[in-house]
A and B are shown apart, each in its own frame.
Chain A
Amino acid sequence: MRRSVGVAAASAAAVLVAGCGGGGPQSGGDSKLTGDKIVLGVLNDQSGAYSELSGRNSVKAVEMAIADFKAKYGDKAVTKNISVETADHQNKPDVANSKAQEMYDRKGVDAILDVPTSSAALKVADVAKEKKKLYFNIGAATTDLTGKSCNKYTFHYAYDTYMLAHGTGTVTTEQVGKNWYILYPNYAFGQDMEKSFSAAITAAGGQVVGKDGAPFPNTSGDYSSFLLKAPTLNPKPQVLGTMQAGAELVNVVKQYNEFKLRDKGVGLAVGLMFITDIHSLTPAALAGTTYTDAWYWNFDQQNREWADKFQKETGTRPSFAHAANYSAAMQYLEAVQAAGTDDADTVVKALEGKEVNDLFLRNGKIRAEDHRVIHDAYLAQVKPQAEVGEPWDYVKILKTIPAAEAFRAPSADCKM
């Protein structure tokens, strides 16, 4: 008796939630799913540079989404048969290409998620377009995914170079200092970041007094000649903006501290940083550094509860990429639930223009014009060591950047 009351309550809740989520046909047993199942594919870096900030824990996040989806809909779920396929693309575009084809063609994957590394991400976008299957990019930063390489089946979820530059570049120029020295790794990502940042800094009334492209990869691991140059420029920069990532970022920050640039009046702003980077550098090395974050685990109660569950599963706190993978999986499942089918064109229609609020997407909207998923972003600052109350609680949020401001307007280059 008690059980049937529970089921009734759950179904009532499900109907209500689905109703709020935009409606659409409800389907129980008579679904139109190919093979009566949904398969999600997580394609990312599972052993290299991005395996910590995303990697296998993103697979866990997607599994958490599936479990929550099943719990939410119970018997009303479009199917109970939902599984995850995963593959390691080793950050290589050609491997990403063949793994994506294999996922869509042979593993029956309905939607591919994650795919860090811009060059690999763009390849998968091509495959998705050709196979007419869904693809939610989370890990890659290039704005080309919603620019000249956009297509009907590709959605760009968590962040991009515009969001990073607009947040950090604009707000730091307004609040910390007008004069910047930019240090970037001299390859596609770094050059793109340098351009985006320079544009944002100039637009905010600041100026770039110097910029240098450091060798990439920098085999010597030494950035001292750039760091020595920074305080001698005229006018003296108030901000060193580093676009390095991963181990290169670690080298820059260690040496920034060695040369005591903060004491010499040169603050530090980081183009792209994940919480895992702060963890490996320690907050002491980064105290005072500003950067743009797409999501922070200890931002509010909702995030914290999910982060606690995530920590139970993985032993660590989630990065924004983990939360975004969870959210993308959930939104895809919700869209299939609402549409009652996994037919890609129908699901795309159900997603386009949808306004969403969930764990990751705050004031979120899945833009129909270019499939950019917009949401609130955050300007974050690393706390001084003394203010770090518990492990992984490393930053305070200085400012919420509203969704409409955080991302660029749809690009004219995007022709669906």
Chain B
Amino acid sequence: MSGFLQNTFNGLVGGAFYALLALGLAVIFGMLRVVNFAHGAFYMLGAFGAYVLLAEAGVPFWAALVIMPLALGLLGMVLERAVIHRLTRLDPLYNFLLTFGLTLILQDLVKSRYGVQSSPYATPTELSGSVDFGLFDFPTYRVFILGFTVLLCAVVWWVLGRTRVGMVVRAATERPELTRAFGIDVGKWVTPVFGFGIALAGLAGVLAAPMRAVNPLMGADLIIVVFAVVVIGGLGSIFGSVAAGFGIGLIQAWGEAYLSDFPIVSQTVVFVVMAAVLLWRPAGLFGREEAPA
């Protein structure tokens, strides 16, 4: 029983990373209709930035948790203004080429300066213990990630659901043409929303640094699964991407724990789920079919 709870807990922690990344992808896709293939690179930059801040300036984890998302959010806004916004009217192939190329550039910049070897990043001492839940104990750092992510998703949820800004973003995400028709200037929200999505990716990266290998390719490995998560949740659906993120984390953890004699299963379960969902609901679990143009 305690083993099952521990594995469930782990699944949710893994899912928290998927949820943070998928949430950013979903709002960006919703507003800009751009599939951001560079999302994994920004996740990597978040983790690497935390390492560089610590190693070269002595900036601790907690400060990095604020600095990196802000810095990357800003970088995201600059990139959106400089290049990304030129894509929105073009064939989606261009957006694939641009954001994928951006990934390669960012990865190689980091690689040329810091090499391919993983960089060290220790768990902050305040979070290095473990929490005793009676039936089982669990690393404090993982408890923190889970609590922090759930809180963050709740705040985003509240902002989107209860504020005027949220209303515009939701409307523009789900029905951009109709929103424009109501006289709302969707254009001025595009840049900050892109920056916000990138900031979330950077935040996930900082959170990952103490428990995962920090190297230039860490985002490239993860992003494939995150795309599957977004598709399962429904492209552009904010709630769907968060729910699917946690769900896939759980399925993966259970698969690894109870089907470890069939490693191929735990590795492919995400894509099996994606295929099944798409057969049943072509727009994803919480997505809606785009209205024909």
Contact A215 B10 (CB under 8 A): no
B179 within 8 A of A: no
At the interface, is chain B mostly helix, strand, loop or mixed? helix
With A217-B221, A221-B218 already in contact, the answer to whether A229 and B257 are too (CB < 8 A) is: yes
Q: Which of B14, B117, B142, B212 has the most CB of A within 10 A?
A: B117
B117 contacts A258, C-beta separation under 8 Å: no
B252:A220 contact, CB within 8 angstroms: yes
- A40-56: CB near B (< 8 Å → 1, else 0) gives 00000001110111000
- Contacting residue for B256 out of A225, A254, A255, A259, CB 8 A: A225
Q: In whole angstroms, how far apart are the Cα atoms of A285 and B118 in the complex? A: 13
Most buried by B among A257, A258, A259: A258
Q: Are B120 and A282 in contact (CB under 8 A)?
A: yes
Shortest Cβ distance from residue B158 to the other chain A in the assembled complex, whole angstroms: 29
- Which has the most chain A C-beta neighbours within 10 Å: B6, B14, B130, B256? B256
B213 sits at the interface (CB 8 A): yes
User: Could you tell me if B116 and A258 are in contact, using CB atoms closer than 8 angstroms?
Assistant: no
Q: How distant is the Cα of A398 from the Cα of B130 in the complex, in angstroms?
A: 32
Contacting residues, chain A, for B205 (C-beta < 8 A): none
Given contacts A52-B115, A224-B253, contact A255 B260 (CB under 8 A): no
Chain B residues whose CB sits within 8 angstroms of the CB of A255 once the complex forms:
211
- For A49, give the chain B residue with the smallest CB separation: B116
Name the distance in Å between B126's Cβ and chain A's nearest Cβ.
14
Closest to B209 in A: A254
Contact for A219 among B141, B222, B253, CB less than 8 A: B222
> A258, B252: Cβ atoms under 8 Å?
no
Q: Is B3 positioned at the interface, with any CB of A under 8 Å from its CB?
A: yes
Query: How far does the Cβ of B47 sit from chain A's closest Cβ, in whole Å?
Result: 11
Tell me if A247 counts as interface (CB < 8 A to partner B).
Answer: yes
Would you call B58 an interface residue if the criterion is a C-beta within 8 Å of the partner chain's C-beta atoms?
Answer: no
Q: Please tell me which one of the listed residues B117, B211, B221, B253 contacts residue A225 in the complex, with CB atoms under 8 A apart.
A: B253
B161 within 8 A of A: no
Residues of chain B with a CB closer than 8 A to A53's CB: 117
Binary contact readout A244-272 vs B (1 if CB under 8 angstroms, 0 otherwise): 00111011001101111000000000000
Nearest CB to that of A51 among chain B residues? B116
Neighbouring A residues of B122 by C-beta, 8 Å? 282, 284-285
Choose among A248, A254, A276, A284 the residue that contacts B210 (Cβ–Cβ < 8 A): A254
**Could you tell me the distance in whole angstroms from the C-beta of A13 to the nearest C-beta in chain B?**
40
Of residues 131 through 171 on chain B, the ones whose CB sits less than 8 Å from some CB of chain A are: 139, 141-142
Interface residues on A, range: 35 or more
A243 to chain B, nearest CB (A): 14
Contacts of A303 in B (CB 8 A): none
Report yes or no: A52 in contact with B116, Cβ–Cβ below 8 A.
yes
- A333 CB to closest chain B CB (Å) equals 30
- Asked if B111 is an interface residue, CB under 8 A from chain A, the answer is yes
A224 touches B225 (CB 8 A): no
- A contact residues around B115 at 8 Å (CB): 51-52
Output the least CB separation between B39 and chain A (Å): 15
Taking the complex as formed, is A232 at the interface, i.e. its CB lies under 8 A from any CB of chain B?
yes
- Complex Cα distance, B142 from A64, in Å, reads 48
Instruction: Tell me if A279 counts as interface (CB < 8 A to partner B).
Output: yes
Asked whether, in the complex, the Cβ of A220 is within 8 Å of the Cβ of B141, the reply is no
- Interface residue? A281 (CB, 8 A): yes
Tell me, rounded to whole Å, the shortest Cβ–Cβ distance linking B109 to chain A.
13
CB contacts (< 8 Å) of B221 on chain A: these are: 217, 219, 221
Q: Is there an interface contact between A225 and B263, defined as CB atoms closer than 8 Å?
A: no
Closest to B252 in A: A220
Closest residue of chain B to A213 (Cβ to Cβ) is B263
CB-CB under 8 A from B256, the residues of chain A are: 214-215, 222, 225-226
Q: Give Cα A260 to B243, complex, Å.
A: 30
A-side residues, CB < 8 A to B, are 47-49, 51-53, 186, 212-215, 217, 219-222, 224-226, 228-229, 232, 246-248, 250-251, 254-255, 257-260, 276-277, 279-282, 284-285
Known: A221-B222, A258-B211. 4 other contacts (CB 8 A): A49-B116, A222-B252, A224-B6, A254-B210
Write the nearest CB–CB distance from B41 to chain A, whole angstroms. Answer: 16
Contact B260 A226 (CB under 8 A): yes
- Chain B, Cβ-Cβ closest to A222: B14
Residue B7 CB within 8 A of the other chain: yes
Query: Are B120's CB and A285's CB within 8 A?
Result: yes
Any chain A CB within 8 A of the CB of B267?
Answer: yes
Which chain A residues lie closer than 8 Å to B7 at the CB level? Answer: 224-225, 228
Q: Determine if A280 and B120 form an interchain contact, defined as CB atoms under 8 angstroms apart.
A: yes
Contact A281 to B116, CB < 8 A, known contacts A212-B260, A228-B6: no
Subset of 30 A-B contacts with CB under 8 Å:
A47-B116, A48-B116, A52-B117, A53-B117, A212-B260, A213-B260, A215-B264, A215-B266, A215-B267, A220-B252, A222-B10, A222-B14, A222-B252, A225-B253, A225-B257, A226-B256, A226-B260, A228-B6, A228-B7, A232-B3, A246-B118, A247-B217, A254-B213, A255-B211, A257-B123, A260-B130, A260-B139, A277-B117, A280-B119, A281-B118
Measured between alpha carbons, how far is A280 from B51 in the docked complex, in Å? 11
B224 at interface, CB cutoff 8 A: yes
Which residues of the other chain, A, contact B99 by a CB distance below 8 angstroms?
Answer: none
Set B3, B139, B215, B222: member contacting A258, Cβ < 8 A? B139
Given A219-B222, A228-B3, A258-B141, are A281 and B120 also a contact pair (CB < 8 Å)?
yes
Closest chain A residue to B212, Cβ basis: A221
Contact of B118 among A213, A219, A225, A247 (CB under 8 A): A247
Give chain B residues whose Cβ lies under 8 Å from the Cβ of A229: 3, 257, 260
Other-chain contact of A214, B6, B142, B263 (Cβ < 8 Å): B263
- Closest Cβ of chain A to B20, distance in Å, is 14
Nearest neighbor of B130 in chain A, beta-carbon distance: A260
How far apart are B84's CB and chain A's nearest CB, in angstroms? 26
Cβ of B142 and Cβ of A258 under 8 Å apart?
yes
A250 partner residues in chain B, CB cutoff 8 A: 118, 212-213, 215
Name the 9 nearest CB pairs between A and B, nearest first.
A250-B213, A225-B257, A247-B213, A215-B267, A225-B256, A52-B117, A250-B118, A224-B10, A282-B120
Q: Are B14 and A220 interface neighbours, CB within 8 A? A: yes
User: Are B117 and A276 neighbours in the complex by a CB distance under 8 Å?
Assistant: yes
- With CB as the reference atom, state the residue of chain B lying closest to A217: B221
Instruction: With CB as the reference atom, state the residue of chain A lying closest to B253.
Output: A225
Cα separation A53 to B118 with both chains bound (whole Å): 12
Contact partners of B211 in chain A: CB under 8 A? 254-255, 258
